[in-house]
Amino acid sequence: MVVRDTDVIVVGAGAAGLSLVYRLCTPPPGRPVPEVTLVDAPAGPLRPPERTWCFWEASPGDFDGALSASWESLRVRGRDGTASVGRPAPFRYKMLRSGAFEELLAGRLAGPGAPRRVTARIDAVHDTASGAEVTGVAADGSALTLRGRWVFDSRPPRVLPPARTTLLQHFRGWFVRTERPVFDPRTADLMDFRTPRPPHGLSFGYVLPTSTHEALVEYTEFSREVLDDAGYDRALRHYTEHVLGLGPFEVTATERGVIPMTDGRFPRRAGRSVFRIGTAGGATRPSTGYTFAAAQRQARAVAAAYHAGRVRGPGRWTRSCCAGWTAGESTGPRSSRGCSVGYRCRACSVSWTATPARTRTSRSACARRSVRCCAPSPNCRGCRDGGRPTDESDHTEERRLSDDAPP
């Protein structure tokens, strides 16, 4: 059995995991670099193939050196072919391949302070008295145990949370190379509704040209059920031949994906020292399926909180339900600051011990999810609103990532 101790463990080396590792290992001047362990899945079904991420961003951006392409002009086509073109300046629509992203960050993180990378299948993540523990099987088949002060888990949820609405955005794409110049590399087609309408849901084409002869062409559906490979290929063949009229072309690569589109609540916190990030932590926008930009905001917020020492340890943390704390029997001994008062959260059944100095409720305490705001008070605007602040603050991103509050 291999046992290793570290400051931070990040499970999953996708966009969310890699981005968080990058931000943690590049602290502000004067801040120490934490010891970070990144756990990547072994080759096989647990490791996804190379993927394409797209997002809007003003230039220059952090990852411009790894982009496959970017566009300042975007187009949407109706079922009759009518085109609407927009230019969302100062933003550009950017296309980033996962392989190029990994290579870029690997170069930036090389040298002193580089994260330790472990290849393993993770079976369990759970809290311990001093942090959290990750257990699984290493690439060589040996048992693996990692212990860290904090764990950030980006593995996708096995089951989607309960919701009023749950759809799937599922797609298959072809990277094509044509014999004649048919694409305009200055304009990306976000939605082309000249595709056959499915029995349930909607469909559209998606074209990202990287040159006059090359593009990523995707067929996308919003529906409750995915198609089989033959279904996607029929739709792509119809779209490329009869709608786009590409003429002779070759398919140089393919990709496919399924993105949940749901109003279900994804808890950000899975324990005292365990957090969820990426899609598992609610980073996917339910109306569009975009995730990459939100994953970057998550990574920056988590890293900023960590470097500033705002991530609280066991015994000094709260959930997103400050209005749900109820006084009960004392759960701790007297302290030098006064008599301890015990509180138990009705929503999460977690006990927390507070001294009188920490039971003072205030607007700033609620907005910052401070340990001071554990007792409900009719004089606190945050508590009157169910523990949520009445306006946004500088701590919004930190709050969203450090508790279960929905965005």
Q: Which residue has the tokens 């792509």?
A: 236
Token pair, residue 46, equals 């647990």
* 177 and 221 assigned to the same domain: yes
pTM (2 decimals)?
0.76
Token pair, residue 147, equals 């212990």
Domain that holds residue 236: 166-262
Instruction: With respect to residue 313, please indicate whether it lies within any of the assigned structural domains.
Output: no
Query: Residue 313: pLDDT above 60?
Result: no
Q: What is the pLDDT of residues 79-116, one digit of tens each?
A: 999 999 999 999 999 999 999 999 999 999 998 889 99
pLDDT at site 1: 55
pLDDT at site 299: 97
Average pLDDT, rounded, for the chain: 81
Q: How many domains in the chain? A: 3
* 113 and 228 assigned to the same domain: no
Contacts of 398 (CB under 8 A, 6+ apart): 301, 304, 305, 310, 368, 369
Instruction: With respect to residue 346, please indicate whether it lies within any of the assigned structural domains.
Output: yes
Name the 3-class secondary structure at 109: helix
pLDDT at site 124: 95
Q: What is the pLDDT of residues 223-282, one digit of tens each?
A: 999 999 999 999 999 999 999 999 999 999 999 999 999 999 999 999 999 999 999 999
Determine the average pLDDT of the residues in 355-379: 38
pLDDT at site 47: 87
Strands 73-77 and 187-192: parallel
Instruction: With respect to residue 75, please indicate whether it lies within any of the assigned structural domains.
Output: no
Query: Residue 2: pLDDT above 70?
Result: no
Sign of CA dihedral 216, 220, 226, 229: negative
Least confident interval from 65-74, 174-183, 309-318, 359-368: 359-368
* 104 and 242 assigned to the same domain: no
* 256 and 279 assigned to the same domain: no
- Sheet containing strand 351-354, strands side by side: 325-328, 341-345, 351-354
Q: What is the CATH number of the domain that holds 227?
A: 3.30.9.10
* 387 and 362 assigned to the same domain: yes
Question: What would the DSSP string read from start to end of 356-402?
Answer: GGG----HHHHHTT-TTTTS--TT-HHHHTTT--SS--TTHHHHHHH
> For the purposes of burial, counting CB atoms within 10 Å of the CB of 165, is it exposed (0-12), middle (13-18) or buried (19 or more)?
exposed
Report which of residues 126 and 363 the model is more confident about: 126
Least confident interval from 193-207, 291-305, 344-358: 344-358
Token pair, residue 143, equals 């048992």
* 288 and 383 assigned to the same domain: no
* 113 and 47 assigned to the same domain: yes
* 9 and 62 assigned to the same domain: yes
Instruction: With respect to residue 79, please indicate whether it lies within any of the assigned structural domains.
Output: no
Q: Which residue, of 245, 277, 307, is where some domain finishes? A: 307
pLDDT at site 45: 81
Q: What is the CATH number of the domain that holds 8?
A: 3.50.50.60
Name the 3-class secondary structure at 242: helix
With cut-offs at 50, 70 and 90, classify the pLDDT of residue 311: low
